[in-house]
Amino acid sequence: MSTRAERFAGLSVAIVTPFRDGKVDLPRLREQIEFQAQAGTTCICPVGTTGESPTLSHEEHERVIAESVQAAAGRMLVMPGTGSNATAEAVRLTKFAASAGADAALVVGPYYNRPTQEGIYQHFKALAESVDIPICVYNIPARTGRNIEPETIIRLADLPGIALVKEATGSLDQASQVLAATDLTMLSGDDSMTLPLLAIGGRGVVSVVGNLVPGDMKALCDAFDAGDMHAAQALHLKLFALCRDLLGLASNPIPIKAALAMLGRDTGEVRLPLLPLEQPLAAKLRQAITAYGLEPQLA
């Protein structure tokens, strides 16, 4: 099935923002991006939820976008987070991303101020009309406080600049309604929902677990595309417990940063108001990593 932004089909990885001594650790950021390039990842998504975008200054946000585009060097697509609860700020960030060479913009629904559906529509319309790169509508009501209703997404699909949806509502009914009425490229916003979403017409995932095992999540998407449902199901079941713990033990990206450190790929601290993973939960995460077949370093 061909969709509007088919080149984004497959594995996108929501990469972390490494910090060291209170500053963005650019050398470690480049290492993380190189890791994804070597894994054959389709697209990286910096400065999203996993990238702790709410704690970045405007200057840091733009620097991470620019560094990510440069480090990807055309080997992967780059779709940075450029959302805001202020439309003017989202437009500014999205314009910067386009000028820096990003391939698309991942735009979360306006959060905290709880706009109406018409307000959400006008917000994304303004963004779509402000740049030439595709816009991915990121719908995650658990974080924003407002669902972008399927009827609103279907309206947005009439705008040429709206090309993708990152679906993180957990509702296959909502996803099905959008897929039945549009040709938007839908990506799962929840690792555990990737295979179910592919089964109804989704085209890939924006993955957190891909920071650790991009090859396995890519293999799941590739197996599904090849019609090998048995292999896709086996990979889904293998990944499930690790995906659950990475998003369930504490708020993302606390567990993924802890896991990277356990595996010798330390990306530094999380920024307040987030705190490091508490010791009892860290022990559970270590068990999940070991059970998966990875080898954490000694505590």
Single out the residue of 242, 234, 211 nearest to residue 46, CA to CA.
211
Return the ∠ at Cα 78 (arms to 75 and 84), rounded to 5°: 170
| Neighbour-count burial of 172, counting CB atoms closer than 10 A to its CB (0-12 exposed, 13-18 middle, 19+ buried) | middle
166 is annotated as an active-site residue:
yes
The 3-state DSSP class for residue 204 equals strand
CB 136 within 8 A of CB 122: no
Single out the residue of 57, 35, 55 nearest to residue 44, CA to CA.
35
138 is annotated as an active-site residue:
yes
Per the residue annotation, which of 121, 125, 166, 257 is the catalytic one? 166
| Neighbour-count burial of 227, counting CB atoms closer than 10 A to its CB (0-12 exposed, 13-18 middle, 19+ buried) | exposed
Per-residue CA distances from 248 to 162, 211, 259 (Å): 31, 16, 13
The 3-state DSSP class for residue 267 equals coil
End-to-end Cα separation, the chain, in angstroms: 47
What is the rounded distance in angstroms from the CA atom of residue 107 to the CA atom of residue 195? 23
Per the residue annotation, which of 125, 138, 218, 257 is the catalytic one? 138
Number of CB atoms found within 10 A of residue 132's CB: 8
What is the rounded distance in angstroms from the CA atom of residue 69 to the CA atom of residue 97? 9
What is the rounded distance in angstroms from the CA atom of residue 16 to the CA atom of residue 4? 27
The position carrying tokens 């939820």 is: 49
User: Which H/E stretch holds residue 24?
Assistant: strand 23-24
Positive/negative CA dihedral, 299, 254, 78, 154: positive
Residues carrying an active site annotation: 138, 166
